Chains A and B, each alone.
Chain A
């Protein structure tokens, strides 16, 4: 009987077959002839970015309308490094993450006493401030036209970023997987469980003596680090950085991506990103002006009929299909499907 408890936690954190298939698929498409690697690279970057928000929104329950700020800080940090001589990409990624992460820690401290609409407005306000600053500072950041003349050296001195996008894709996929692996481990730790507890009932967490505010600050910091690396990936693989990368539009799009895909599963963001990026690409080709209408419509449909998002709904469906046990027994949550 005691084994029930230990078994429960073992199942809760184990890698499911779906996860393995997911990552093998991403690796496999590299070899598919004629596949649009540049597009898929975009999907991964958006997925990574959405995963960063998932940590704060899905697992901790804090909405943020300003996450593009972290993405953009990472993007511009990598951009500045590339423009002014530090062209090594891996250290550039790390630096971008650390700068963005530090800003994330500060943001966490600022919002720790807030909740609800007030919190949302603060995150939005900070994002808008940053956007305005970057957009206007033409001398510093290239202003509205963006940061030009960014040079990125070959990865590990061997793999040059070329027009075919092969290096970029492997680079993006590897970094994404490493960060995913790290965040997955965090979420499956006692700290991760405490975040979920604070999401469900922060009053009770305080009564357990938990450092609720401190944990939130760390969640923001880690989330910002990941978002910053995502931004740096975009800059490094396109050799370009623009204010759009930290715009409110991007923050809003991110929320759409995560809601479509589903929160608190880590993979939801990737599915939402797939839908969003592919749809954007296809629809824009059909009608460049009105494609956003379709995204809006999709969002409304998904929220109406798949209230929790694509992935959680699909997961519930699969569970009902294959369940042998009593329906009451909750199957381990976390990230397994």
Chain B
């Protein structure tokens, strides 16, 4: 992947196994967020391809990839500030179920979607704040909502870009506990800087540095890897 003369990636080969909880770690500038942008369709690679279960999705738009089940969260909260969590999750579910075309039918009739949205908020511990405007919620809860919005789409691949960013240790743990417990069957790919979270919850770890994957393996393998220790973890 190159931006003009700047080559971000140099022969990047990455494989995500179904059902994995795969962590991507690495120093800033290593290309992690660019990588996620390519997977989700925000950026088009200058060379190479993106395959989903053998299907070539390289030329698919963001909308098409979401339809295929590739969903992401953002490093900075991307929420509907003036809406409440229940409204936000209901929108997500309505879009998923394709019941949001122009219509005169009042939203109060969509009981299935409303109930599912509330159940989801309960599972992630946001039920008490369901009718509080998003912009009034504390940052920690907004971060959880960010994940809930993506999770509500029932994705095949859930991409979390630094989900615990700005959260305290216990908040970060709680969030990962919820995601891991509820994500059975969903393949999760997450970028994180908090090594405790990575080694507690990841089933596989890939280390990015300088636009390429310098190591790939189970958390224990990575912990022991000399090159990774030098480049990133420190001794």
- Chain A residues within 8 Å of B, Cβ to Cβ: 1-2, 4-6, 8-10, 12-13, 182, 185-186, 188-194, 196-197, 200-201, 203-211, 215, 218, 222, 328-330, 333
Contacts and interface: CB of A to CB of B under 8 A. Distances in A.
Contacts of A9: 90, 107-108, 114
Given A190-B91, A208-B91, A200 B131 contact: no
B91 A329 contact: no
17 contacts: A1-B118, A1-B122, A5-B118, A6-B108, A8-B131, A13-B106, A185-B104, A191-B103, A192-B107, A193-B91, A200-B79, A200-B82, A203-B74, A204-B79, A208-B66, A209-B95, A328-B136
A203 B86 contact: no
A193 B90 contact: yes
B132 A328 contact: yes
Nearest to B119: A2
A5 B79 contact: no
B106 A189 contact: yes
Contacts of A329: 131-132
A4 B131 contact: yes
A186 B104 contact: yes
B168 to A, nearest CB: 22
A90 B136 CA distance: 48
The interface centre, meaning the residue of A5, A204, A205, A211 with most chain B CB atoms within 10 A of its CB, is A5
A205 B107 CA distance: 18
B153 interface: yes
A198 to B, nearest CB: 9
Chain A interface main SS type: helix
Q: How large is the interface on B (under 10, 10 to 19, 20 to 34, 35 or more residues)?
A: 35 or more
A185 B108 CA distance: 11
Contacts of A222: 102
- The 10 A-B residue pairs with the shortest CB-CB distance, nearest first, are A209-B66, A185-B104, A5-B118, A200-B80, A9-B108, A190-B100, A330-B133, A204-B78, A190-B94, A208-B95
B130 interface: yes
B62 interface: yes
A5 B133 contact: no
Nearest to B127: A1
Contacts of B136: 328, 330
A25 to B, nearest CB: 25
B130 A4 contact: yes
Given A13-B108, A185-B106, A189-B105, A196 B95 contact: no
A88 B91 CA distance: 42
B80 A197 contact: yes
B221 interface: no
Contacts of B81: 200-201
Interface string B147-177: 0011001000000000000000000000000
